[in-house]
Amino acid sequence: MLTTPQLQVAIREALRDAPTVLVLDLTEVAFFSSAAIRAVIEARDATGDHIELRLAGGHYLARTLADVPSRRIRPGREP
């Protein structure tokens, strides 16, 4: 189980490698706090226009967060 600070660290570490796509797999997520939602939105902002952010796992959170106005968050699977 990850806490929001651990999620934020994991996102920062993943972004250090300058990927073209960042996939957040929410398959095992049972509870998603507002702080975690904020972390995902911050990740979206950190990716800029050059990194696509995808939310995977078929979880309702992936679908809900994909509705946050942004062209950079998409439901999807790892390429």
Q: What's the mean pLDDT in 7-26?
A: 89
Q: What's the mean pLDDT in 19-47?
A: 84
User: What is the DSSP-derived secondary structure letter of residue 17?
Assistant: T
Whether 18 contacts 39, CB under 8 Å: no
Whether 7 contacts 36, CB under 8 Å: yes
Tokens standing for residue 66: 């994909």
Which of the residue ranges 20-24, 37-41, 43-47, 48-52 has the most confident prediction, judged by mean pLDDT?
20-24
Residue 70 reports pLDDT greater than 80: no
SS3 35: helix
Whether 57 contacts 25, CB under 8 Å: yes
What is the structure's pLDDT at 65?
Answer: 66
Edge-first strand order for the sheet with 73-75 is 21-25, 52-56, 73-75
- Average pLDDT in the chain: 78
pTM (global) more than 0.85: no
